[in-house]
């Protein structure tokens, strides 16, 4: 990637910037506390920590204060971390929201799939990486192809198809989770979802940045990238938290309903999950159950298998919801004229 960037440096041209170069320290702090607080709150919930609501409330309050701060500074003619006028462009607002949804879908898949492959199918890191490769390879190939072959097709229509393919791939993937005994079962749904992500990558950056003036395009690209990074972090954290919460609830309910486990064993399972819910392979669980009666071992492993499959399926609902929200949002994009790309926009902020 570095070599490609170096070879492409001649395609980048500088645009004079006439705005203020002072730093908006308060805006920077509020943005960090806001976005960081939301993600941190979800991670604390995932780990079973305390004060989750307080952390989320601080994050939400900081984000609200950040918006107010930017608007106030703009009215006073003072430098801001982000120029609020960027968001006057409807294509820019829609593009950023779609970028966040794309990254939430990707983040949710990228936490659920490795856990599935390593703890359910008990693959090592290399085997798991090879099994997930169809997602990234199809994404890369389709992005290159769609970027060249889009022709006169509206970007909003391509973006809608991209999200639809992401959602379709996940819909196919969810029922496979409890049935697959090999990574090969994931091939088709990963190719479908990866193709959808490739269509999104080929269109979203240019669509989002096209209406922005040359002087502001670097700033706009930074905001676009930040929205994508926040979406990815949110998708990873939220899907992981939902997975562990579902695992804990399902395991406890199945243990309480078990005719094999004694009341004391059921209570012990509940106590362990209350303090340390964890997705683990049957091999790891068998080691922890060494010394227990055979019937108890078999029952807990069976419960772990069923609860783990359910937890992974529920976690995949997070990227699925993001994939379904994308086409709905694209209808708003269709109602407005497509922005005309400006020369410096193409290729900006690929990350």
Model confidence band, residue 351 (pLDDT cutoffs 50, 70, 90): very low
First to last CA, the chain: 12
CA 198 to chain centre: 15
Domain boundaries in the chain? 24-81, 98-351
Distances (CA, A) of 183 to 147, 175, 188: 30, 14, 11
Quick: pLDDT tens for 37-68: 998 998 888 777 778 899 999 999 999 999 99
pTM of the model: 0.82
* pLDDT higher than 60, residue 273: no
Q: Is residue 224 classed as helix, strand or coil in its secondary structure?
A: helix
Model confidence band, residue 269 (pLDDT cutoffs 50, 70, 90): low
Model confidence band, residue 260 (pLDDT cutoffs 50, 70, 90): confident
> In this structure, which topology does domain 98-351 adopt according to CATH?
Growth Hormone; Chain: A; (1.20.1250)
pLDDT value at residue 317: 94
CA distance 205 to 95: 8
Lowest average pLDDT, out of 4-13, 216-225, 277-286, 319-328, goes to: 277-286
Q: Where is mean pLDDT largest: 9-13, 194-198, 288-292? A: 194-198
Closest CA to 325 of 154, 96, 98: 98
CA 255 to chain centre: 32
Closest CA to 128 of 169, 183, 180, 173: 183
Find the largest Cα–Cα distance for the chain: 76
């Amino acid at each position: 990637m570095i070599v490609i960037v170096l070879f492409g440096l001649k395609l980048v041209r500088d645009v004079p910037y006439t705005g203020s170069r002072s730093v908006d320290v308060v805006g920077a702090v509020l943005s960090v506390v806001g976005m960081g607080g939301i993600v941190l709150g979800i991670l604390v919930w995932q780990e079973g920590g305390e004060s989750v609501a307080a952390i989320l409330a601080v994050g939400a309050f900081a984000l609200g204060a950040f918006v107010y701060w930017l608007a106030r500074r703009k009215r006073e003619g003072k430098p801001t971390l982000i120029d609020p006028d960027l968001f006057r462009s409807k294509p820019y607002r829609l593009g950023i929201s779609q970028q966040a949804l794309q990254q939430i879908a990707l983040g949710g898949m990228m936490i659920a799939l490795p856990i599935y492959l390593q703890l359910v199918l008990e693959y090592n890191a290399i085997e798991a990486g090879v099994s997930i490769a169809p997602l990234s390879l199809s994404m890369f190939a389709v992005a290159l192809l769609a970027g060249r072959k889009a022709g006169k097709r509206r970007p909003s229509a391509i973006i809608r198809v991209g999200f639809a393919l992401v959602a379709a791939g996940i819909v196919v993937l969810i029922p496979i989770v409890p049935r697959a005994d090999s990574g090969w079962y994931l091939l088709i749904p990963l190719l479908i979802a990866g193709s959808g992500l490739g269509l999104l990558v080929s269109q979203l950056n240019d669509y989002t940045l096209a209406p922005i003036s040359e002087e502001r395009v670097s700033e706009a690209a930074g905001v676009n990238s930040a929205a994508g990074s926040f979406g990815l972090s949110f998708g990873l954290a939220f899907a992981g938290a939902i997975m562990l919460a579902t695992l804990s609830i399902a395991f406890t309910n199945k243990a309480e309903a078990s005719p094999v486990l004694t009341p004391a064993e059921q209570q012990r399972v509940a106590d362990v999950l209350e303090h340390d819910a964890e997705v683990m392979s049957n091999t790891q669980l068998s080691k922890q159950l060494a010394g227990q009666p055979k019937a108890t071992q078999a029952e807990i492993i069976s419960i772990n298998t069923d609860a783990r499959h359910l937890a992974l399926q529920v976690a995949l609902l997070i990227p699925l919801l993001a994939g379904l929200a994308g086409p709905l949002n694209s209808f708003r994009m269709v109602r407005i004229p497509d922005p005309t790309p400006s020369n410096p926009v193409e290729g900006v902020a690929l990350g």
